[in-house]
C-alpha cells in the first residue's frame, strides 16, 4: 500500500510556482466566491479530509466577515489539524470545530446539516468511483438547498470527471463552475438545487485509499 506523509505533502503549497500552489490559489478563489454569496450568519462550512485547511484559510483571509464563518474540519492527521485550527483562528474565523478521525464514517455527519459550503478538495482522487457517488449522496444530505459543494479531481485517464458531474446532476445538484477542461485537475462547484435527503443508512460512506485504481 502507498504511504504518504500528509503533513509533508502540504509543503508543496509553499512553492509559489508549483502546480500545487496554482491549484491552491484556484480553490481559494472559488471558496471565496462561495463565501461572498452567503447572506446569512453564521456561514457554516465543512471541510472533509481538510488537511491543513489551506484552501479555506486563503479564502477566509480575504473574506470581508471572517468572524461569521464557522468551520468544521474532519481530518485524520492530528498534525494537520493542529496547523489548520491555529491558522484559521489566527485569521479571525468565528469558530472552528475539529474532528480528528476517519471522514469516511457516516456518524461524523449526524447533526451537521444544513451546511452553506461543503469542501471535498483532494478527496475524490483517493476514492473508488462507487465511493465517489456515495459521497455525493452524502453531500445532498448535509448541504442546505442552495448550498455549494466545491470539489476537485485529477483528470488522469480514465478521466472520471464527466461521470462525477453526472452523479452530481442525478443527486439534485447543478454545476456552477467547472474550470478549464484542459487543466490536469478539475476544480469545480455544484449547487444543491434539488431537495435534501436523509443521511445514507450505511456507516461506511467511503474508504480513503491512496493510489486507488479509478
Ligand X SMILES: C[S@@+](CC[C@H](N)C(=O)[O-])C[C@H]1O[C@@H](n2cnc3c(N)ncnc32)[C@H](O)[C@@H]1O
- Chain contacts with ligand X (rule: CB under 6 A): 6, 49-51, 54-55, 74-77, 80, 102-104, 121-122, 208
* Rounded Cα distance, 40 and 57, in Å: 20
Question: CB of 194: closest distance to ligand X in angstroms?
Answer: 26
SS3 131: helix
Is the Cβ of residue 51 or residue 147 nearer to ligand X in the bound state?
51
3-class secondary structure per residue, 138-184: HHHHHEEEEEEEEEEEECCCCCCHHHHHHHHHHCCEEEEECCCCCCC
Is the Cβ of residue 38 or residue 126 nearer to ligand X in the bound state?
126
Is the Cβ of residue 38 or residue 52 nearer to ligand X in the bound state?
52
* Rounded Cα distance, 196 and 65, in Å: 28
Is the Cβ of residue 44 or residue 80 nearer to ligand X in the bound state?
80
Question: CB of 65: closest distance to ligand X in angstroms?
Answer: 23
Question: CB of 53: closest distance to ligand X in angstroms?
Answer: 7
Kindly give the interhelix angle for 54-62 and 19-36, rounded to the nearest 10 degrees.
50
Question: CB of 3: closest distance to ligand X in angstroms?
Answer: 11
* Rounded Cα distance, 47 and 151, in Å: 10
Amino acid at each position: 500500500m502507498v504511504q504518504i506523509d500528509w503533513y509533508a505533502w502540504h509543503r508543496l503549497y509553499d512553492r509559489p510556482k508549483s502546480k500545487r500552489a496554482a491549484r491552491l490559489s484556484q480553490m481559494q478563489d472559488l471558496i471565496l466566491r462561495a463565501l461572498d454569496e452567503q447572506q446569512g450568519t453564521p456561514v457554516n462550512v465543512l471541510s472533509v479530509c481538510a488537511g491543513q485547511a489551506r484552501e479555506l484559510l486563503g479564502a477566509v483571509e480575504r473574506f470581508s466577515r471572517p468572524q461569521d464563518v464557522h468551520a468544521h474540519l474532519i481530518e485524520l492527521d492530528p498534525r494537520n489539524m493542529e496547523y489548520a485550527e491555529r491558522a484559521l483562528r489566527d485569521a479571525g474565523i468565528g469558530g472552528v470545530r475539529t474532528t480528528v478521525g476517519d471522514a469516511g464514517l457516516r456518524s461524523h455527519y449526524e447533526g451537521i446539516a444544513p451546511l452553506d459550503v461543503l469542501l471535498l478538495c483532494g478527496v475524490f482522487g483517493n476514492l473508488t468511483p462507487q465511493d465517489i457517488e456515495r459521497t455525493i449522496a452524502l453531500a445532498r444530505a448535509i448541504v442546505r438547498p442552495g448550498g455549494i459543494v466545491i470539489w476537485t479531481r485529477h483528470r488522469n485517464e480514465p478521466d472520471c470527471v464527466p461521470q462525477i458531474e453526472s452523479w452530481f446532476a442525478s443527486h439534485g445538484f447543478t454545476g456552477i463552475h467547472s474550470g478549464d477542461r484542459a487543466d490536469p485537475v478539475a476544480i469545480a462547484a455544484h449547487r444543491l438545487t434539488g431537495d435534501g435527503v436523509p443521511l445514507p443508512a450505511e456507516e461506511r460512506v467511503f474508504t480513503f485509499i491512496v493510489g486507488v485504481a479509478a
